[in-house]
Structure 1
């Protein structure tokens, strides 16, 4: 059936659901995906089970969509005051609050069932922590200036889960990757928060962009430097080779580029720097993939 044969109300409804779940904006899913792949490939020494790759790829997209639904539910009254978000379907009234909650629960349940049916007990136990983090993060911006830290933990929880699914155990390298990704997430989501800082100040939403103030770029740079140092340590601990380090070097170069983009703290340039982090994550994965492939 051609798309134009669908009833117009149904098309509008599906479009609103796609916007709520950010299907039209996959950047968040990609930022989740690359660190998850880092974990799978390292835990498997470059040969992860195909089943785990499929499970965690789908899980990343499902849980990111679930997180978007609960985030918009939490922010439905605040988003109308922020220029970038005032036309979101839930805020604009095109989708009801209960629908967003139902989508969050449904997508979370599907992800949970994949873990129950196709992984191991350790991964199952870890999945409860991931669900809690996905639920509480959107509400943290009301209570703390560090919601990006909670987002970092939520975005990084797939790392121990993927490692556990592949190796049925965790290691020091697992938590090094987790730490690196938490710091990286705080850095790039602070760039994202800088886009909305003026609006957030008006309505009382808290963020690291507000907390850091004029030290924002310096602190982001320090976090980025720590990410590179930890990833170098991961390479040393796992005896990775030149291709991996080339990938880390590309990430470092992109971090410098992000600092350049954000030099004037302009909304558009900060958002561009945020989006570019996708390539930083991909660069590390590409280096890791090639390095383990040619061993």
Structure 2
């Protein structure tokens, strides 16, 4: 049975069902218990499962993540909420030096089944440290998996897969989309595989690669350019940022011959550069034009009064499509 849920509701349901199904699952984070989390993603779970499984932690990200690593090593399945992606920096060393390396360091004897849930991205009128998109910090780290859903169905299915994964997963939730729309989400437990992108719109003239909140901008731009110019764009939701679904990326570029990457992270060393390198390495002969990036600028996310000037917009995406097709 399916109901229409928004992303927050889908995430809450995934956590609720896994808490009920597997007693090893525990939630940890700042204000996740009585307050239900800063975005209310854990609302009601403390009353249902108690303070031994929904744990309000001190304001200490290093301590939260370090404790979660120890719990994971001892058979638990910790699911940590970091209130905003940029708040993760105090715990960064724990993630990259310990969680990400444990399987390698122990030659496969130990894994870290740890999930870090964290909102990311601009568009909610938050200060700079509440609005950053720094996914490449984690996609650059062997041993970490990085996931970024764009819709409620994928959010639930990917989170369940992340909880069941033996390796640490950074689960990035697009803040702008938390309550932006609803869609049908099955009530039962289901899984969306980590590492698989999805072609959400077929096309022949150009491929747009996007994820998270930028997928909606890409889809809207593709629809507008089709109505205005008649160009049909293929739109690919990466869903998993590491490991990338290379097969889907290359299949799409071989079909269309042109590409645009849309992400709100800073342009320099953003994930778009890695996608372009992959295509240049393995599908260069199929290209009909250089690949463009529509991205955030190389500055901190600005104050809310000019936030919209920082984010990729439908008009910027449309311009990129036109420039690439008319090259």
TM range (shorter): under 0.3
* Higher normalized strand content (fraction of residues): 2
* Higher normalized helix content (fraction of residues): 1
Higher RCO (C-alpha 8 Å, min separation 6): 1
Query: What's the TM-score, normalizing by structure 1?
Result: 0.28
